[in-house]
């Protein structure tokens, strides 16, 4: 009982420290977006349009509002509305529309009930649906729709972008969004997942015939390696597709991927950035992979069944390992979670990342008994 209470207090302390940091960061960031920084000072490299990660910051604002009810967080979120609108009209858009508008437009429609956010979510869903290839039954990952380069490529990350489409069908009653999301999830399960439950980062199809061509790498160490963040995207993404569809094949995919991930985590509880690194490769951690996987495991636990207790225990173990990397109480930094893996000028590096911070905050929320339904 004492250990349980101590952990509950630790969750609450970390959450309180993160909310305090969110308050400070509101002043630092204005209506711009954090992304990455080696030293945890995002204000040194803010961007105007959100890149692919902007919604992780606004998602943190939305979680802080749900914890506190403080209208200042909603006021801050309204400040970003013109940016999100303009991104759809003139900015670069790819499959990460799902990240950007699920954690902003859908989340704010759920919180406020205001039609402006519903309309924005559906406009983004239409843009994402335009990337659907009906021949291959997949959502193209990168590039503008009229560009030929990478026209037949999918990536495991996109599993986390599908909730925007599932939710668009729920909001409108029109099945077309759900049909595309379901088809993409099914092809991701069939082709991105290897027989040993690891994932390719990318897979190529012939964009005209839809014929599957083969798995490839982009992030990760090599063609046959296992990028740990990609594995985490798959765990959470397939678990969410199960939540939206009830298809047991997605639950099985998430469970198999989770078993591999947990079995490969290093002794300190935080994975290396790739699970198949040769000795000569940079032996760097990726705390963001652990935070994403923890959220996926909490999602698996939420669906009950005999394994629910196991998944919750595994999620908490990953989360507890991340405490040693937390700068939540460090007032000199705007970042929270150290040692996300990334590349700076093509050099492998440990970084602070806003996506690592977001998923750490979400995982802490779930551990403390609050599921804010950010993906539904």
Q: Catalytic residues, which ones?
A: 96, 157
Question: Is 357 among the annotated ligand-binding positions?
Answer: no
Please tell me whether 57 is known to bind a ligand. no
Task: Give the whole-angstrom CA distance, residue 1 versus residue 261.
Answer: 29
Cα–Cα dist 273/287, whole Å? 9
Residue 215 annotated as part of some ligand binding site? yes
> Which tokens in the block code for residue 279?
């000795």
Please give the Cα distance from 43 to 335 (Å, whole number): 10
- Residue 187 structure tokens: 């092809």
Known binding residue 233? Answer is yes
Q: How far is CA 171 from CA 84, 109, 119, 350, in A?
A: 19, 10, 10, 40
Alpha carbons 300 and 240: distance in angstroms, whole number: 9
For β-strands 153-155 and 212-216, DSSP reports them as unpaired
Residue 371 marked as a ligand binder: no
Residue at token pair 């400040």 = 79
Residue 194 near residue 148 (C-beta atoms within 8 A): no
The whole-angstrom separation of Cα 221 and Cα 341 is 12
Q: How far does the chain reach from its first CA to its final CA, in angstroms?
A: 33
Choose among 145, 147, 121: nearest CA to 133: 145
Q: At what angle do helices 2-29 and 354-367 cross, to 10 degrees?
A: 140
Cβ burial of 90 (10 Å; 0-12, 13-18, 19+) is exposed
Binding-site residues for substrate, in ranges, read 96, 157, 215, 229, 233
Binding-site residues, in ranges, read 96, 157, 215, 229, 233
């Amino acid at each position: 009982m004492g250990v349980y209470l101590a952990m509950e207090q630790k969750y609450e302390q970390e959450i309180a420290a993160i909310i305090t940091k969110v308050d400070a960061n509101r002043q630092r960031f204005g209506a711009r977006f954090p992304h990455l920084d080696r030293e945890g000072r995002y204000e040194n490299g803010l961007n105007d349009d959100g890149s692919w990660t902007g919604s992780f910051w606004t998602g943190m604002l939305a979680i802080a509002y749900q914890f506190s009810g403080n209208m200042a967080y909603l006021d801050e979120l309204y400040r970003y509305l013109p940016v999100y609108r303009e991104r759809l009209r003139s900015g670069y858009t790819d499959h990460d529309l799902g990240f950007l508008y699920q954690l902003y437009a859908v989340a704010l429609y759920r919180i406020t009930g205001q039609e402006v956010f519903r309309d924005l979510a559906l406009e983004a869903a239409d843009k994402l649906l335009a990337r659907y290839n009906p021949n291959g039954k997949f959502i193209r990952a990168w590039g503008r729709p009229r560009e030929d380069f990478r026209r037949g490529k999918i990536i495991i990350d996109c599993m986390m972008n599908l909730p925007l489409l599932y939710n668009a069908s729920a909001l409108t009653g029109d099945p077309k969004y759900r049909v595309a999301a379901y088809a993409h999830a099914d092809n991701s399960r069939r082709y991105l997942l290897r027989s040993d439950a690891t994932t390719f980062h990318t897979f190529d199809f012939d964009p005209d015939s839809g014929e599957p061509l083969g798995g490839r790498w982009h992030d990760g160490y090599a063609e046959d390696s296992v990028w740990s963040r990609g594995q985490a995207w798959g765990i959470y993404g397939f678990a969410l597709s199960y939540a939206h569809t009830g298809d047991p094949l997605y639950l099985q995919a998430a469970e198999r991927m989770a078993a591999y991930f947990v079995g490969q985590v290093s002794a300190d509880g935080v994975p290396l950035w790739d699970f198949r690194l040769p000795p000569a490769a940079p032996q760097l951690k990726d705390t963001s992979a652990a935070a994403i996987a923890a959220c996926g495991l909490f999602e698996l636990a939420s669906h009950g069944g005999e394994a629910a207790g196991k998944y919750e225990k595994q999620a908490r173990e990953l989360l507890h390992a991340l405490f040693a990397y937390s700068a939540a109480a460090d007032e000199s930094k705007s970042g929270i979670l150290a040692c996300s893996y990334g590349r700076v000028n093509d050099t492998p590096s440990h970084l602070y990342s806003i996506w690592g911070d977001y998923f750490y905050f979400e995982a802490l929320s779930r551990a403390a008994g609050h599921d804010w339904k950010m993906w539904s």
